[in-house]
């Protein structure tokens, strides 16, 4: 029996190919889809700490903010309307990700990215010119629709386009662009807040049009993935595209596996219902629990409300925005660690190290805030060393997330789904992510008011639970071709009871015999096939399975 985590990688199958400049540039452009998500995460927390923005749209919060500092600091931002402004986006993203599944499957990954960019642009335009709360909410809903489409399609695009040996690093480009978006938003908030006249928030919100244009234009120039082209019947074009992105002519084995997966997916009439089948139990579990746990690390609390949080624990407006810039910079730099190490050290080791580091940091931050603020929220005079300690451990916490649960929360689900359920399962993944992002964003300020420093203990508990889950139930997926991922579940100590030997079959000896006999028939009939050709086709059939017979005997 394998170790608890299931380290056995299956049949060790690999495809020829290299990391070409074409696929590198393509994946970088596609990964820019994360900018819209990151920019929004960073910008929303910044503008909600700007007095001019609060005074115009949320006057009750503004009055609390300007009140005497002896009032309860934990509760100064507690407003249902303010949290609705932040969280409404994620409710819209939840709904659009369900629709995006059908768009991605029928029209390809590119079209889904295009819709996402256009919707996000419209939302940014409305928010930039907002005259009332209702315009802010409508704009946020359109932003959410755009994010739902982009988050559904971009991780799939990257996983399908990248060579399997580099899939982790290229896929994490999506998370890197999210962190860059957060950083840019934090920097812009800092400078826009200084604009005289108090209209800098319009530039912050309207600035989202720039990342929207990047993903919109990018979706128009990007090539489609071979998987998507095969799925829509464009097999000849898909073969040529696969040769171009792999940089080699010998792509028959990978192409035939993609065709086999496509043929299997076409037999599935109801992919949503198919998710409930026993053999997809591990996939569905990961599609639900990984995004669920990702949100309950507490990271979005830090990123949404970093300026608000720092303001709450005693920083001034400018200082709180600068602290958010610092955490944003740490977030982006630490993601580079994950890009470097994910294909060297594996997914599990990063998950577990990051979880341990986050747990320690959250416990220390809870102790620091509890010691100074107590339960009444009146800290008195805060020394500079205290502020340095809090920011330091929040930065260490952000760094741990940025090289573990941040990128891997998108990478692992996008690489484990078979083609026949890939779009539907990715929609479940995004929907769960957005649902719990909405819940956390909606209740965070209320929880901060009532749980006080215990809020960090609350999230620390879930970090402990999720680390235990990863240790026992997530197999290592590093270095496994995406169409061969079924083997890792068969060899896992727990999931093997749900995935049988006949599920996700990649070898078919009996069908190999059929192919060889057909070829021998052509030889005896005067065809041009040779014994060497028979051996080559036999090897290909053995690797690719029975669904490739038609392709091999043509």
Query: Which of 196-205, 227-236, 289-298 comes out lowest in average pLDDT?
Result: 227-236
Q: Residue 191 above 70 pLDDT?
A: yes
For the entire predicted model, the pTM comes to 0.73
Q: What percent of the chain has pLDDT over 90?
A: 24
Q: Is 391 exposed, middle or buried (0-12, 13-18, 19+ CB in 10 A)?
A: buried
Q: What is the pLDDT of residue 531?
A: 45
Question: Is the CB of residue 478 less than 8 Å from the CB of residue 342?
Answer: yes
> Which comes out higher in pLDDT, residue 156 or 335?
335
Q: What is the pLDDT of residue 388?
A: 77
> Which comes out higher in pLDDT, residue 507 or 97?
97
Per-residue pLDDT band for 6 (boundaries 50, 70, 90) equals very low
Distance CA 26, CA 204 (A): 29
Q: What is the pLDDT of residue 194?
A: 87
Distance CA 261, CA 285 (A): 22
Q: What is the pLDDT of residue 3?
A: 32
Q: What is the pLDDT of residue 449?
A: 77
Q: Residue 205 above 90 pLDDT?
A: yes
Query: Which of 99-103, 116-120, 275-279 comes out lowest in average pLDDT?
Result: 99-103
Distances from the Cα of 261 to the Cα of 51, 265, 462, 485, angstroms: 55, 6, 36, 12
Q: What are phi and psi of 270, to 5 degrees?
A: -130, 85
Q: Residue 15 above 80 pLDDT?
A: no
Q: Residue 58 above 70 pLDDT?
A: yes
Q: What is the pLDDT of residue 462?
A: 94
Q: What is the pLDDT of residue 157?
A: 87
Question: Is the CB of residue 172 less than 8 Å from the CB of residue 187?
Answer: no
Q: What is the pLDDT of residue 554?
A: 40
Helix, strand, coil share of the chain (percent; to 5): 75, 0, 25
Distance CA 262, CA 287 (A): 21
Of 96, 132, 430, 123, residue with least CA distance to 290: 430
Query: Which of 25-39, 318-332, 355-369 comes out lowest in average pLDDT?
Result: 318-332
> Which comes out higher in pLDDT, residue 14 or 286?
286
Close Cβ partners of 535 (under 8 Å, ≥ 6 residues apart): none
Per-residue pLDDT band for 268 (boundaries 50, 70, 90) equals low
Q: What is the pLDDT of residue 352?
A: 96
Per-residue pLDDT band for 312 (boundaries 50, 70, 90) equals low
Distance CA 25, CA 384 (A): 45
Q: What is the pLDDT of residue 551?
A: 37
Q: What is the pLDDT of residue 522?
A: 43
What integer best gives the mean pLDDT of the chain? 80
Distance CA 224, CA 9 (A): 29
Q: Residue 288 above 90 pLDDT?
A: yes
Question: Is the CB of residue 230 less than 8 Å from the CB of residue 135?
Answer: no
Q: What is the pLDDT of residue 206?
A: 94
Distance CA 348, CA 350 (A): 5
Burial 138-156 (b: 16+ CB within 10 A, else e): bbbbbbbbbbbbbbbbbbb
Of 468, 500, 474, residue with least CA distance to 487: 500
Looking up tokens 């499957």 gives 105
Q: What is the pLDDT of residue 526?
A: 47
Query: What's the rounded mean pLDDT across residues 253-280?
Result: 81
- The pLDDT tens digits for 352-387 are 999 999 999 989 888 887 887 666 656 556 677 777
Distance CA 47, CA 230 (A): 45
Of 145, 187, 478, residue with least CA distance to 331: 187
**Three-state secondary structure of 151-176:** HHHHHHHHHHHCCHHHHHHHHHHHHH
Question: Is the CB of residue 227 less than 8 Å from the CB of residue 251?
Answer: no
Q: What is the pLDDT of residue 483?
A: 74
- The pLDDT tens digits for 407-457 are 999 889 888 888 778 878 888 888 898 888 888 877 877 777 777 778 888
> Which comes out higher in pLDDT, residue 373 or 305?
373
Q: What is the pLDDT of residue 351?
A: 96
Question: Is the CB of residue 457 less than 8 Å from the CB of residue 362?
Answer: yes
């Amino acid at each position: 029996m394998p170790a608890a985590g299931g380290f056995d990688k299956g049949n060790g199958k690999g495809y020829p190919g290299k990391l070409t400049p074409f696929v590198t540039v393509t994946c970088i452009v596609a990964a820019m889809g994360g900018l819209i998500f990151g920019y929004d995460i960073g910008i929303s927390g910044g503008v909600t700490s700007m007095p001019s923005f609060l005074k115009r749209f949320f006057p009750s919060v503004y009055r609390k903010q300007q009140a005497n500092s002896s009032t309860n600091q934990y509760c100064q931002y507690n407003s249902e309307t303010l949290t609705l402004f932040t969280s409404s986006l994620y409710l819209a993203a939840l709904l659009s990700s369900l629709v995006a599944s059908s768009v991605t499957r029928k029209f390809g990954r590119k079209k889904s990215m295009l819709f996402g960019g256009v919707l996000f642009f419209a939302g940014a335009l409305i928010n930039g010119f907002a005259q009332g709360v209702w315009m802010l909410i409508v704009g946020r809903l359109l932003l959410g629709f755009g994010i739902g489409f982009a988050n559904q399609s971009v991780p799939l695009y990257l996983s399908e386009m990248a060579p399997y040996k580099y899939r982790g690093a290229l896929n994490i480009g999506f998370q890197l662009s999210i962190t860059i978006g957060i950083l840019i938003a934090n920097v812009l908030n800092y400078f826009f807040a200084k604009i005289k006249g108090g209209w800098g928030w319009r530039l912050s919100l309207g600035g989202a049009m720039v990342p929207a244009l990047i993903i919109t234009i990018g979706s128009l120039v990007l090539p489609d993935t071979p998987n998507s082209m095969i799925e829509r019947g464009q097999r000849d074009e898909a073969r040529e595209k696969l040769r171009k992105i792999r940089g080699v002519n010998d792509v028959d084995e990978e192409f035939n596996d993609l065709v086999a997966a496509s043929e299997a997916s076409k037999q599935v009439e109801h992919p949503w219902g198919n998710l409930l089948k026993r053999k997809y139990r591990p996939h569905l579990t990961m599609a639900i629990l990984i995004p669920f746990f990702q949100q309950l690390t507490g990271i979005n609390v830090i990123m949404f409300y970093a300026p608000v949080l720092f303001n709450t624990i005693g920083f001034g407006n400018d200082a709180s925005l600068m602290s958010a810039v610092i955490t944003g910079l740490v977030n982006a730099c630490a993601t580079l660690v994950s890009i470097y190490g994910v294909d060297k050290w594996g997914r599990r080791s990063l998950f577990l190290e990051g979880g341990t580091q986050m747990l320690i940091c959250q416990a220390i931050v809870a102790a620091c805030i509890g010691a100074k603020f107590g339960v009444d929220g009146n800290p008195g005079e805060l020394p500079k060393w205290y502020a340095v300690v809090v920011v330091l451990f929040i930065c260490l916490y952000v760094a741990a997330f940025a090289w573990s649960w941040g990128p891997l929360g998108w990478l692992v689900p996008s690489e484990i789904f078979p083609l026949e359920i890939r779009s539907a399962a990715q929609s479940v993944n995004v929907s769960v992510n957005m649902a719990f992002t909405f819940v956390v964003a909606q209740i965070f300020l209320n929880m901060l008011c009532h749980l006080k420093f215990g809020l960090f203990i609350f999230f620390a508990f879930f970090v402990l639970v999720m680390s235990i889950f990863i240790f026992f139930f997530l197999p290592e997926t590093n270095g496994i071709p995406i169409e061969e991922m079924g083997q890792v579940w068969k060899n896992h100590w727990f999931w093997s009871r749900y995935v049988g030997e006949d599920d996700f079959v990649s070898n078919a000896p009996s069908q190999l015999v059929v192919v060889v006999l057909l070829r021998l028939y052509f030889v005896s009939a005067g065809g041009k096939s040779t014994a060497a050709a028979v051996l080559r086709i036999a090897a290909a059939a053995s690797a690719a399975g029975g669904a490739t017979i038609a392709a091999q005997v043509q």
